[in-house]
Each structure stands twice: as structure tokens, then as C-alpha cells.
Amino acid sequence: MELEKDRPFDALVTSVIPTIKEEFASVIRHLRPPAYPYDIDAALAARGKALFYSEEMGCARCHGVYDGRGNVEWPGVYKDVGTDRSRLDVVSSKFIAAFDQSPLAAEGRLVRSEGYAATPLTGVWANYPYLHNGSVPTLHHLLGPVSERPAIFHVLAAGRFDRTHVGQRLFLDPAHGRHDEAELVRRFGADRDWFHTARPGAGNGGHNVWPRIRTDANRKALIEYLKTL
């Protein structure tokens, strides 16, 4: 995506990669997430923090330890948690062979992982929609029962923040909320302005933490803590 159409592939090595490295060293690594702009219930967030770091929840084992100032000790875990495999399956043996024969091989090896990165959660309140393919619109849905995750939502509604569920609103037009999912799929399932989880690579399954969270009270506490990261 960094290359223009009329530039040779070698430009990726001679121009684009050095620029990315320079900008990472001078700018990106020093960036910190924006603070949550609304009030946070400190007592509820403290309860959520205790849950986050508890052995039973196990969130920190994959997502790291946070100092409350935008910094994280990230363990670099790559794990298959049952999410959509389409992007992972792109990295086939033929894909790796093609990489090894490209100029990119000079920058390091390409190794197929067992799953996606359990990314750091700094600024997670603003990093919606969730999962690697953006298939879950809010933290409320991500941490709840998988069966309750929306099958379709309006991509253009991402400009409207849902403070109740922490993430994007499902619909740009509130009138769409009066229709059930079957009707929304019938109307908008083929519309690229709508995210439809039945499309290839768009599945919203996996990362099923509800059996450990168990209650809406625990979910709310965890979300309140995530606002502080």
C-alpha cells in the first residue's frame, strides 16, 4: 500500500522501508494513546483492574501489564483464539516462498504464526471496531456472549461514539435500529458501506471470554478499567 502503481517493487526496499523505520524510531514509538474524554468511575475501574489481572480472567497473560500512563509491558503473544482464519491462511507455503525470493527477504524471515497477535490495549476505547478484521463494533459486544455480536452494522457509523457500549454506533440512521438483523441483511448485506459478518474473512467468532466474565457486572467493570489504558 505504500508503493505507488508506477514505482518498481525494489522501491519498497530502497525508499519505503527506510522511511517506515525512520518514522517509527522518531515518532511512532513515542506516541501515547489519547485519554478517555469522559468521566470514569474510579471504584468500578479498580474492580475491573483486579479482574483483568486475576488468574481466572487471564487478560494480562496475552495483552500485557499497564502502568496507567500509556505504557505497556507486552509479552508479544500470538495465539489462535478461534477468530476468523482467512488472513492467517493467506500466509501459505507458496506465499512464504514468494517472500523469500523478493527483496523483502533482506529485511528478515517470514514465519507463519499459530494465530494473530494479542495486541496491546493502550487506547483500546478508541480503537474500534474490534478483532483483527474489525468485525465487532464495541467492547460490550466483544466481551459478551459471541451469539449476541451484531451480524451487520453500518461502517459509516464509526464516526459516532457509543459511550454506553464503548465503540462505534451500529447505525448512522437511528431508524435502522427498528429493523431486525434479517431485514438489515436483506437490505444492506451486499452494501460495502455495511459490515456483514457472513462475508469471507469477516467472521466475528472467537475470542470467547464470556464463560470467564460470566456477568454483566464483571463486563462493565472490565470495560471501565479498559477506558483508563
Task: Give 23-38 pLDDT, tens digit per residue.
Answer: 888 988 888 899 999 9
Lowest mean pLDDT among 19-33, 82-96, 145-159, 207-221: 19-33
Give residue 29's pLDDT. Answer: 81
217: pLDDT strictly greater than 90: yes
Tell me the C-alpha distance between 120 and 75, whole Å. 9
Whether pLDDT at 3 is above 70: no
Q: Please report which confidence band the pLDDT of residue 209 belongs to, taking 50, 70 and 90 as the band edges.
A: very high
| Element housing 161 (H / E) | strand 161-162
Return d(Cα 41, Cα 44) in angstroms, integer.
5
Reported as a pLDDT band with limits 50, 70 and 90, residue 8 is confident
Q: Is the dihedral of CA 160, 166, 167, 171 positive or negative?
A: negative
CA distances from 107 to 2, 18, 104, 188 (A): 16, 11, 6, 43
Q: How many angstroms separate the CA atoms of 78 and 119, rounded?
A: 9
Report yes or no: 219 and 143 within 8 Å, Cβ to Cβ. yes
What percentage of the chain has pLDDT greater than the value 70?
Answer: 97
pLDDT, residue 176, reads 97
pLDDT for res 4: 55
- Whole-number average pLDDT of the chain: 93
pLDDT class of 168 with cuts at 50, 70, 90: very high
Q: Which three cell numbers stand for residue 220?
A: 462493565
Query: Taken in order 115, 62, 196, 160, is the CA torsion positive or negative?
Result: negative
At what angle are helices 42-52 and 216-226 packed, to 10 degrees?
A: 100
> Locate cell 468485525: which residue?
135
pLDDT of residue 124: 97
Cβ atoms of 124 and 173 within 8 Å: the answer is no
Mean pLDDT across 163-191 = 97
Which tens digit of pLDDT belongs to each residue from 87-134?
A: 999 999 999 998 898 888 888 899 888 899 999 999 999 999 999 999
pLDDT reported for residue 5: 61
pLDDT tens track for 57-74? 999 999 999 998 888 999
Does 20 or 196 have the greater pLDDT score? 196
